């Protein structure tokens, strides 16, 4: 069994690392704020004092952090991953970042003698807890195969899309669709409100219809109660939409709905909803329709 270095103990990283421990892996954990490591250490993980130590003690070192700036920092810090001897080791980035940045990081790791995979995930906190994520892999096929036992613990399916950066590209595709569907559901509910319909009955209609979706079922409670504790923070989805829009411009791809949805998420961030769940885009649309808190005060 390979030894794993796990870097990044946020909403996703913590349950994923916990699943590896439960499956019997030796896991060395590192997080910028080390206090978050306490529950995993109690569950049998070892604390690494730096990203370098996590890499040195492991066969496979995983980064699961917010964005490309965080991944880069963990690689290039004086005691970062790249300061370790990486021959025979694999660095796997599971954070959502752009394909171009991914290819840059892959080159940096290979220069130090290591193998690199991008393996971002589709699925939120609950699938992470249940080991039911979808792993979107990019990199050499033999390296993917070597890491497959780890991916099998974390997810229900691993899809190998191609070379370095292709897993990250696939992640932008699925998250753009997720953001569009989330806005579509939200607009339907705003429309229902504007037409004077009962939200509970409209939710029952959607649930029975051809456009019912696991996403709707997962977010229905939040939408009806208008409470949005973050499973997937709106600011992270906004980051992903920006990456998707950048990539579309780079490739000369017109994506009209992605552009529109990005603008709604940008507005929601600007209005202080970044730390809420992405489903709070519904509140943004309500406010745009004059149904938000400002309207109530009038």
Site of tokens 């809420």: 276
Interface positions, 137-166, toward ligand NAP (CB under 6 A): none
- DSSP secondary structure code for residue 87 in this structure: T
Interface positions, 112-141, toward ligand NAP (CB under 6 A): 121, 124-125
Candidates 7, 97, 103; CA nearest to 49 is 7
CA–centroid distance for 125 within its chain: 9
Give the contact letters, 92-111, x = binds to ligand NAP (CB under 6 A), - = no.
Answer: ---xx---------------
If one asks whether residue 285 binds ligand NAP (CB under 6 A), the answer comes out as no
CB nearer to ligand NAP: give 80 or 292. Answer: 80
Show the DSSP H helices in the chain as ranges. 13-22, 38-42, 51-56, 68-76, 99-111, 125-130, 141-154, 166-194, 199-208, 214-225, 234-250, 256-270, 281-288, 293-297
If one asks whether residue 173 binds ligand NAP (CB under 6 A), the answer comes out as no
Alpha-carbon distances, residue 78 vs 55, 85, 194 (angstroms): 13, 13, 56
If one asks whether residue 181 binds ligand NAP (CB under 6 A), the answer comes out as no
What is the sign, positive or negative, of the torsion defined by CA atoms of 189, 191, 194, 200?
A: negative
Least distance to ligand NAP from the beta carbon of 98, Å? 11
Residue whose C-beta lies closest to ligand NAP: 10
CB nearer to ligand NAP: give 11 or 153. Answer: 11
Using the rule CB under 6 A, which residue among 105, 116, 151, 232 binds ligand NAP? 232
- Using the contact rule CB under 6 A, the part of the chain among 38-46, 53-61, 190-198, 228-236 near ligand NAP is 228-236
CB nearer to ligand NAP: give 13 or 139. Answer: 13
What is the SS3 assignment for 86?
Answer: coil
What contacts 24+ positions apart, CB below 8 Å, involve 246-250? 246/98, 247/98, 247/99, 247/100, 247/169, 247/172, 250/100
Least distance to ligand NAP from the beta carbon of 7, Å? 8
CB nearer to ligand NAP: give 50 or 96. Answer: 96
What is the SS3 assignment for 275?
Answer: coil
Catalytic residues: 171
Sequence-separated (6 or more) residues with CB below 8 Å from residue 31: 7, 8, 9, 13, 37
Least distance to ligand NAP from the beta carbon of 126, Å? 9
Least distance to ligand NAP from the beta carbon of 97, Å? 7
CB nearer to ligand NAP: give 154 or 190. Answer: 154
Least distance to ligand NAP from the beta carbon of 35, Å? 9
The residues binding ligand NAP (CB under 6 A) are: 8-13, 31-33, 36, 64-67, 69-70, 73-74, 95-96, 121, 124-125, 231-232, 236
């Amino acid at each position: 069994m390979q030894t794993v270095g796990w870097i990044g103990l946020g909403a996703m990283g913590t349950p994923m690392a916990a699943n590896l421990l439960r499956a019997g892996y030796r896991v060395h954990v590192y997080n910028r704020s080390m206090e978050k490591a306490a529950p995993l250490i109690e569950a049998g993980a070892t604390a690494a004092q730096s990203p370098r130590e996590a890499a040195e003690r492991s066969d496979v070192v995983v980064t699961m952090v917010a964005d490309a700036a965080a991944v880069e920092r963990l690689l290039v810090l004086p005691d970062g991953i790249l300061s370790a001897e990486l021959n025979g080791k694999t660095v796997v980035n599971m954070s959502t970042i752009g394909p171009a940045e991914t290819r840059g990081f892959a080159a940096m790791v290979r220069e130090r003698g290591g193998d690199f995979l991008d393996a971002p995930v589709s699925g939120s906190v609950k699938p992470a807890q249940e080991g039911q994520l979808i792993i979107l892999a990019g990199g050499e096929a033999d390296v993917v195969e070597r890491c497959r036992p780890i991916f099998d613990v974390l997810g229900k399916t691993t899809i190998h899309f191609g070379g370095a950066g292709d897993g990250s590209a696939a992640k932008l595709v699925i998250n753009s669709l997720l953001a569009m569907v989330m806005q579509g559901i939200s607009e339907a509910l705003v429309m229902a409100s504007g037409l004077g319909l009962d939200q509970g009955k409209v939710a029952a209609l959607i649930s029975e219809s051809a456009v019912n979706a696991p996403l709707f079922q997962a977010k229905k409670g939040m939408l009806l109660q208008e409470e949005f504790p973050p499973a997937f923070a709106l600011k992270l989805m906004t980051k992903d939409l920006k990456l998707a829009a950048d990539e579309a411009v780079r490739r000369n791809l017109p994506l009209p709905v992605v552009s529109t949805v990005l603008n709604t998420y940008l507005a929601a961030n600007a209005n202080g909803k970044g730390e809420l769940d992405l489903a709070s885009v519904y509140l943004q649309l309500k406010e745009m329709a004059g149904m938000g808190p400002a309207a109530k005060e009038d």
